[in-house]
Chains A and B, each alone.
Chain A
């Protein structure tokens, strides 16, 4: 269907045009307002202006394996200023999803996103200690974990980290809604589950 309307375009360009954030990607005329507004441009390899051009050129591998899409802080500065009305910030989220689904994602932030989605799928609400456990088990980044310990302890002391997860009434609802691939964190499920909920399981 889409290939008929965009006959001469590269399949990757068409794929992006079909996302919510990428609908206007062909409108980009390379003014560079987005890259000039980006607070993390120094962290990026290409920046949003060049990413948009690479999408127009159909450069799937370069776009989806670039670290830029994982450095985006979702601040909406680019989208707010884009004279062509391109939803660049939402597009970055769409690119992160394409990179994940198509197997390009290698960044630590990709692992954080998965850890977050899994925690939500398990409880329906966020439970920070489990999120962090899932994340650090995924990336096996001991140095960062150790650097987080002092702040984590202070947050515990201030009552800013809960010991038990808050949950929606029936966490099975989340699984049925398929908000994330259901992956159990064994360590966490052993130690952190509320006993009364466990007995309700088949």
Chain B
């Protein structure tokens, strides 16, 4: 065994495709801090908000298969960077812990000899870094403080809701604490924990454009240089739909939306080419140039 026990890494579907830059930067930051991540082999989709559309139990079976895989591969802690996956896996883990009957029913539906028998702790990388690694040690890894960068932290929904032990669901602070430690400046704005409407991005995209527009304009008014977030669905809305917002509201925004791990990578002095900035719809190049990248 390694000195440090490896975390089971659950990238989820978005990080394997549309949010590859989040995957790259999570891996780069964890490697830089000496925290071993090992991808869970053969992981499946957590079901997002659709896993239970036909059958309530299927909404638990999908995340439970991943917990069972993690257990069989020797992991006791699973890292899930997508807020939706994080919520689904964490909720399933709690329900299987709390209710033996539910656990037995779900286990009976898993195939290939898989079973959930022990507790698996599901963590979002943000709160794993803040709580278990610590702000002091993150500060010690900063070689390139992001002086003068004004950052609007955006928390979205499932990172802090339903209520959990890591942060306030009404007035979350974790991302802002991180911004300070990285040498940048957090900006205060009222829409930090409001919903982007990402769940309806295809079927009712006008709703997504409306909710996302409110968040982007609020961050713009607070004179943010960038928005920083921790969820690939929110990123698709705030970055991917930004042009739709600009067109619908006849207003230029040009507000780059970065993952917190990309911003950490910059502050740690990692090569920006490792962090996937070219993959954004709204290019962060002007803001990066101002920082000397």
A interface vs B, CB < 8 Å?
A: 19-20, 39-40, 43, 70-71, 73-77, 79-80, 87, 89, 93-94, 96-97, 100-101, 107-114, 116-117, 120, 124-126, 128, 132, 135, 139, 144, 147-148, 151, 154-155, 158-162, 166, 168-170, 173-174, 176-181
Closest 4 CB pairs of A and B: A76-B161, A75-B195, A126-B13, A109-B203
Report which of A76, A112, A124, A180 forms a contact with B54, defined as CB distance below 8 A: A180
Beta-carbon contact of B157 and A109 below 8 Å: no
Report which of A109, A151, A161, A170 forms a contact with B200, defined as CB distance below 8 A: A109
Report which of B17, B48, B58, B244 forms a contact with A179, defined as CB distance below 8 A: B58
Report which of A77, A132, A158, A181 forms a contact with B281, defined as CB distance below 8 A: A158
Q: Is the interface of B mostly helix, strand, loop or mixed?
A: loop
- Chain A residues with Cβ under 8 A from B110's Cβ? 177
Beta-carbon contact of A177 and B109 below 8 Å: yes
- Chain A residues with Cβ under 8 A from B204's Cβ? 43, 71, 108-109
In the complex, 28 of the A-B residue pairs with CB atoms within 8 angstroms, ordered by the A residue number, are A39-B211, A71-B204, A73-B199, A74-B49, A75-B157, A93-B52, A94-B56, A97-B54, A107-B203, A113-B53, A116-B53, A120-B45, A120-B51, A124-B45, A125-B13, A126-B14, A126-B17, A128-B18, A135-B203, A144-B205, A148-B205, A151-B243, A159-B279, A168-B42, A173-B112, A177-B109, A179-B55, A180-B54
- Determine which residue in A73, A101, A176 has the highest number of CB atoms from chain B within 10 A of its CB, and name it: A73
CB distance from B206 to the nearest CB of A (A): 9
Beta-carbon contact of B55 and A178 below 8 Å: yes
Report which of A93, A114, A120, A161 forms a contact with B62, defined as CB distance below 8 A: A120
- Determine which residue in B61, B197, B204 has the highest number of CB atoms from chain A within 10 A of its CB, and name it: B204
- Chain A residues with Cβ under 8 A from B17's Cβ? 126, 128, 160-162, 166
**B138 interface residue per 8 A CB criterion:** no
CA distance A125 to B16 in the complex (A): 10
CB distance from B230 to the nearest CB of A (A): 15
- Determine which residue in B50, B61, B112, B169 has the highest number of CB atoms from chain A within 10 A of its CB, and name it: B50
CA distance A39 to B45 in the complex (A): 27
- Chain B residues with Cβ under 8 A from A161's Cβ? 17-18
Interface residues of B toward A: which range? 35 or more
- Chain B residues with Cβ under 8 A from A113's Cβ? 50, 53
CB distance from A17 to the nearest CB of B (A): 14
- Determine which residue in B44, B163, B278 has the highest number of CB atoms from chain A within 10 A of its CB, and name it: B44
- Chain A residues with Cβ under 8 A from B241's Cβ? 151
CB distance from A72 to the nearest CB of B (A): 8
CA distance A76 to B111 in the complex (A): 32
Quick one: given A39-B211, A97-B54, A158-B279, are A166 and B16 in contact (CB under 8 Å)?
A: yes
Beta-carbon contact of A160 and B16 below 8 Å: no
**B6 interface residue per 8 A CB criterion:** no
Beta-carbon contact of B194 and A126 below 8 Å: no
